[in-house]
Structure 1
């Protein structure tokens, strides 16, 4: 494997071996080596290593045909390659085989379990696979298509319902209820069939599913409370109604998050989410630099423009809006400096934003 190829994978074993300097570091990463010949020896399965070698060459990791997933998992751990690097065409099969092996091991270690419990668990796993693994069977693909259809339908209906001609439309409300019933049914079934309930509740995609469902039921409860309080004419009760109305607005806004349910059926969106999760430090650092720049240039332009008649820069926090849209090169033009020093500061702010 060429060195320039290995450099593309900085978290792999071969990269660490390439960077190793001392005898102890090299011995820890391989079974034997000959520095004179420049050869390193690894006592590993040569058949499985072919897919590892192809990954180094092409950057694409595929699951070998008729190869045990447990052996591949062991090899991936040894070569320090993340299993998420598997291509989408092989990842679902790999995960499914891993779960099947895990289930078989658990079944063999729990011979004392009665037949009824094993049968229930078998059906539970089948239902879980049906809803969680779209590529596991034809029925699972159909369920995924139905789920995606309801997500798209719900999102379209939500958007249409904001048009004045379709507000309070009974057909729109019926479709909304049908979609919520499906989302609720899907969430409850997946929760009951989940092998680990706590891990299920903590999952990001499951939290998104719950957020997509709850606004509908909270909205129903709040409307009933509001109707009861309208019969009372006290000022305090009217204030309570006003607070409920504001809460309902926020709850309705959460319905927009339903579109994120598509991430469950898109491996591309899942990989994007995993990438953002692994890059949170870099993203935090980028936003930190942006915030520092906005604070500095907002202060400069405020002091340059504050004495101008009719100035739009009345405080440093109020100038942050101008700072963010200028540094991100959006430039709406609703707020802009009018003095020459202010315009020079604006130019520097734009250039700094491009550089960041």
Structure 2
């Protein structure tokens, strides 16, 4: 940290009138992200992006935040107790203080997490309301160009289904096209459909291809328009939903190009493995529904934020599979070769039994026949239930927070839609 008085061995944090002295070395690796960012500041401008004010003479940093809440947070990060809500303080206010200093809801005690979830359910709000406010487009002033206002209106119409009446109509049409394409895709795999197509001299296939072309045309036009009106073209390409749109549209055009260059008829093409795979990739269109339904958006956002917990869950399963598969192979096949269980002839084969046992699926295609193997199977099932349940608490709380975050966003656009309708 080069900003400030070079000879000072410590810095002072003034949070709502309460002063705390910290050494520079402690400041570097401080558990609170906002405080540790002070160590990397090189100018007064950088400092004022982190705190509210700075006194160069006393090397004191001012934060206009709740002093009592910071005291509770500071005790927690120093290892003096567990993080709980401050007495006589709103749960949402304390949670906003946590987010400001760099903590998350998972740091709270379980009882406090339950209180927070209940409060968020009642008020339909979430911790990132300020961030959403910054994301919302500001009303265009008189000096704004009419073309820019028109582009902003088009962007909101295509990106936010609840932002206006036109956006809702557009979203409904897109949902109808997705449903129609999925129905045609599923029906084309039925034996009766193929028999009817053969008897009708492939006219049924021709009609299904026309429907497919219409759906692809709609999705392509929608994707192109959203790309044109987007603010940041590079950011648009990186968004997961837009990548899914490309994955759903591209196979159709690849199959059309293959038809043009190979000159094969449609019946021979469908016999090819490559084209059948490309045709089946239309199933990605179902994921397009996430653009219009909060539930699917919540699932995707939860998986994005809980990737550490998901990795931890996979590690638990892999470790348990390695242990139980080796033991089951030994007990069922390795000890007595004369009465050995052929289903457990190798550790990879035993891994299949372990995974279906830990997840309590139990297909019954393979099972232990010895007494020690059955005891091990019971331990494997119980261990699977426990290991799978361990990260669920973190994933659940993240799911609740993501749901209320997206619901709050939808409520804001619904209010703007109501105002537009009244006007």
Return the offset for 1:264: 0.3
Alignment of 1:124-143 (within 5 A): 124-143=151-170
Distance 1:84 1:205, change over 3 A: farther
SS at match of 2:344: coil
- Which residue among 294, 298, 301 is the counterpart of 2:325? 298
TM-score, length of structure 1 as denominator length: 0.66
Q: Which has the higher contact order (CA 8 A, sep 6+)?
A: 2
2-side partners of 1:147 and 1:127: how far apart?
16
SS at match of 1:136: coil
Q: Is the 8 A contact 2:341 2:368 kept in 1?
A: no
2-side partners of 1:182 and 1:353: how far apart?
46
Bigger mean CA deviation after superposition, 340-349 or 184-193: 340-349
- Which residue among 188, 212, 215 is the counterpart of 2:224? 188
- Which residue among 74, 98, 107 is the counterpart of 1:20? 74
- Which residue among 355, 369, 374 is the counterpart of 1:343? 374
1-side partners of 2:173 and 2:299: how far apart?
24
- Which residue among 233, 236, 244 is the counterpart of 1:200? 236
- Which residue among 227, 240, 247 is the counterpart of 2:274? 247
Q: Give 5+ residue unaligned stretches, structure 2.
A: 1-64, 77-87, 94-115, 198-204, 388-423
2-side partners of 1:293 and 1:212: how far apart?
37
User: Aligned residue for 1:83?
Assistant: 129
User: Aligned residue for 2:102?
Assistant: none
2-side partners of 1:216 and 1:355: how far apart?
45
1-side partners of 2:352 and 2:162: how far apart?
47
SS at match of 1:100: coil
Alignment of 1:308-323 (within 5 A): 308=339, 311-323=342-354
Q: Is the 8 A contact 2:332 2:341 kept in 1?
A: no
Return the offset for 1:20: 3.1
TM-score, length of structure 2 as denominator length: 0.56
Q: Give 5+ residue unaligned stretches, structure 1.
A: 1-11, 23-37, 43-54, 64-75, 86-90, 109-117, 230-240
Return the offset for 1:191: 0.6
Tell me the matched-pair count. Answer: 271
Q: Is the 8 A contact 2:341 2:369 kept in 1?
A: no
Which whole-Å deviations, capped at 9, do the CAs of 1:279-320 have from their partners, x for residues lacking one?
111111111101111121111112223334671223212322
Alignment of 1:214-229 (within 5 A): 214-227=250-263
User: Aligned residue for 1:88?
Assistant: none
Q: Is the 8 A contact 2:329 2:344 kept in 1?
A: yes
- Which residue among 122, 147, 150 is the counterpart of 1:123? 150
